[in-house]
Structure 1
């Protein structure tokens, strides 16, 4: 591994943080643009039911696929720590373990796609017409499950090595392919919601092919050569596997909890009718855009903090937190201002339905507030993921989801106002849950090895 194997820590300055973050920011910004294109492709047909179906189907697919988001998040922290400690062989072994796990889990999802789809739609509160559109979208998306989960692993590995430009190239190619294929399948071939899902699945296959090429570029050899030079005894090391599964188990529970939160939010909108569901989905494009932009600094924090933990460098750990938080706070304020000034025209661009437009404009201030309110939770996620403190992530995620659901139920008399009040509060709940564990993280930094917190009990 030529460049990826270097153990000299990168300089920790504002310039270096921004240099590492901007490729992630561009790549992340293109992700919600895909959602915006998906929404516009369906929304400009004037069919609110089809738009609501894509919204419902996308929510379910996100819940199913991101249940395995630990393939990205766990990989970043573990890879950064292995890189920081100078363990080159483990860096490559982590990639191979995660790729095998991602492909296997993706094939299992594809095999179980019909029962998963039917069970999820039975739980949700959509109308039969909306459910039909959602089923078509989900059918298309499941074809891309193996590639999607393998790409999670590759992306996490690249970010853990600080190779943000390669991660950017992977994201941009996948998203451009996604947008182009969606437009072709929907407007060109008339496949509707199914076409949106199928276009995304095809783009994920393209991304996997590119991702394997990028892995070869970073590792200095193609994947087959990496497999050949990695001893089987290392790949099957019981202690390493135990740590991998312990970290991933806790992050998986945390991720499922947060996905249940967002699914509950979508279901709350579905309960109020297709117009409200569609309007909330339009506003979620703003929230997603903010999350993906601010995640650029959270992802940078993951790598910098993971590397500091691997090197056992407490001052570097604290400086990484401070510098990435400065950038995140400034970006959150700018996004909030931009959403308030430009949100109305963007809503009109995304949908032509007058009722959906009016409802979305009414609740736009909530979407504009979330970049500021949600910033601490996104940054603390980056801190704890980089430090691979899965227990804290798990407990904070579960607690915030339970409290959010209780709050949403209590605010139901206020209809969609209550839905957005509960959603906004959920970010504060999550940040508060992680903040409780921060003093413990500081105390443990000098006295415990990174893997201790993640060992199975």
Structure 2
């Protein structure tokens, strides 16, 4: 949770710094640019989640060589994807801004932001792998240390480049790029301290690392996670696109509220991350009782945290959002839509926790199916709730997470019976 809280400060620091300028258009441009980068990169978050699951499962079996091979394969995939993304940079930015329905002059400023931050894409991909590999070995404190250091630097750069040097939108983008580079250096330095990391270099040139069976397992897991994340990212991109049609003030207000939602999400993801590791170890050892106990504990504690966050946002959301903009109209709109942020932790905690269980146990195909169901509910409600305007957008987004949890809970008993049959 603390590690994810440190991660959340990246987006919050950006919105706070650009909000000090009192320019709704600049704040809207950062929101659109950030959504573009989320849309571009989060579809590859399977690098992190699959690395956590496979590393934890190899730990459950006590297989050190498999842990090293997991790192080699994941880094190779990350570097390959990074090279492709850099090659298609001009086309990706143009198409992405079209998909977000960005128009001048908002489009021009968003383009400036993305053109700089885009170079951090290969760094972000590599960081996903290294974080996943360390978390899969329960080395979470080291990851927390890296996140805290990177965030301190990031906030300092935001203050320097936006408020002192007056680079505006470009300053926010450069702050993110430089802090991602620092994060990669720190993670690589920590990973290199473990013997499995040294063995990973040897594993990279071993034929067994690239055997068809092992690669098929990796790509089957990553395929499902990629498709699931693509759908999730599509839901967020659609949220941003519809919000952009309401003007820069509404877009900026949605962006501020979305950052508070992401803060809650990342806190709740602490239980998702724990479930990934612990359920991965239990699944690797074929221990259904241990997996079920982890599931119950994660849901219980996730529910308590979700309730606490909901109450906090219910009473304090209006005051919190006022910190992120000096524009009166943006402040007024964030206060109007703030109650939705209070509902989202309650609506979403179960789906976040269950994602960790499904990934750790390698039930990724089932998770993809439940995501398709939730996307269908989301699309239908977006159409039905159009007369409600921006309130309808937030309503559909809230129901999306409820539908995800409902689908996962419906299929969970059958998946647990599979492990029971394997034990027998």
- TM-score calculated relative to the size of structure 2: 0.96
**Following superposition of structure 1 onto structure 2, how do residues 86-105 of structure 1 map, counting pairs within 5 Å?**
86-105=62-81
Q: Paired residue for 1:32?
A: 8
Separation in 1, partners of 2:406, 2:312: 27
Distance 1:229 1:32, change over 3 A: closer
Q: Paired residue for 2:310?
A: 336
Separation in 2, partners of 1:139, 1:262: 21
Q: Residue by residue, what CA displacement relative to the aligned partner does 1:289-311 show, whole Å, maximum 9, x if unpaired?
A: 11000100111011000000011
**Following superposition of structure 1 onto structure 2, how do residues 372-411 of structure 1 map, counting pairs within 5 Å?**
372-411=346-385
1:192 lines up with 2:173 in the alignment:
no
Q: Paired residue for 1:113?
A: 89
1:444 lines up with 2:386 in the alignment:
no
**In the alignment, which of 248, 252, 255 is matched to residue 274 of structure 1?**
248
Separation in 1, partners of 2:391, 2:205: 57
8 A contact 1:150–1:208 mirrored in 2? yes
8 A contact 1:96–1:227 mirrored in 2? yes
**Following superposition of structure 1 onto structure 2, how do residues 304-383 of structure 1 map, counting pairs within 5 Å?**
304-383=278-357
Distance 1:185 1:108, change over 3 A: farther
**In the alignment, which of 96, 107, 111 is matched to residue 135 of structure 1?**
111
Q: Paired residue for 1:257?
A: 231
User: Secondary structure of 2:192's match?
Assistant: helix
Separation in 1, partners of 2:332, 2:74: 45
**Following superposition of structure 1 onto structure 2, how do residues 150-165 of structure 1 map, counting pairs within 5 Å?**
150-165=126-141
Separation in 1, partners of 2:362, 2:46: 11
TM-aligned CA deviation for residue 357 of structure 1: 0.7
8 A contact 2:57–2:281 mirrored in 1? yes
Q: Residue by residue, what CA displacement relative to the aligned partner does 1:100-125 show, whole Å, maximum 9, x if unpaired?
A: 21122112212211110001111222
8 A contact 2:6–2:144 mirrored in 1? no
Separation in 1, partners of 2:189, 2:372: 38
Separation in 2, partners of 1:87, 1:371: 37
Aligned-residue CA RMSD (Å) = 1.5
Q: Paired residue for 1:220?
A: 195
Structure 1, unaligned runs of 5 or more = 1-24, 450-457
Q: Paired residue for 2:52?
A: 76
**In the alignment, which of 54, 59, 72 is matched to residue 35 of structure 2?**
59
TM-aligned CA deviation for residue 327 of structure 1: 1.3
User: Secondary structure of 1:355's match?
Assistant: helix
Q: Residue by residue, what CA displacement relative to the aligned partner does 1:260-296 show, whole Å, maximum 9, x if unpaired?
A: 0011111111111111111111111111111000100
1:295 lines up with 2:276 in the alignment:
no
Separation in 1, partners of 2:100, 2:205: 47
- TM-score calculated relative to the size of structure 1: 0.90
Separation in 2, partners of 1:260, 1:388: 23
User: Secondary structure of 2:326's match?
Assistant: coil
Q: Residue by residue, what CA displacement relative to the aligned partner does 1:44-70 show, whole Å, maximum 9, x if unpaired?
A: 101100100111111111010011000
Q: Residue by residue, what CA displacement relative to the aligned partner does 1:145-167 show, whole Å, maximum 9, x if unpaired?
A: 11110000111111111111122
8 A contact 2:280–2:361 mirrored in 1? yes
TM-aligned CA deviation for residue 214 of structure 1: 1.1
More deviation, 139-148/165-174: 165-174
Tell me how many residue pairs correspond in the alignment. Answer: 423
8 A contact 1:140–1:196 mirrored in 2? no
Separation in 2, partners of 1:80, 1:174: 26
Separation in 2, partners of 1:166, 1:292: 18
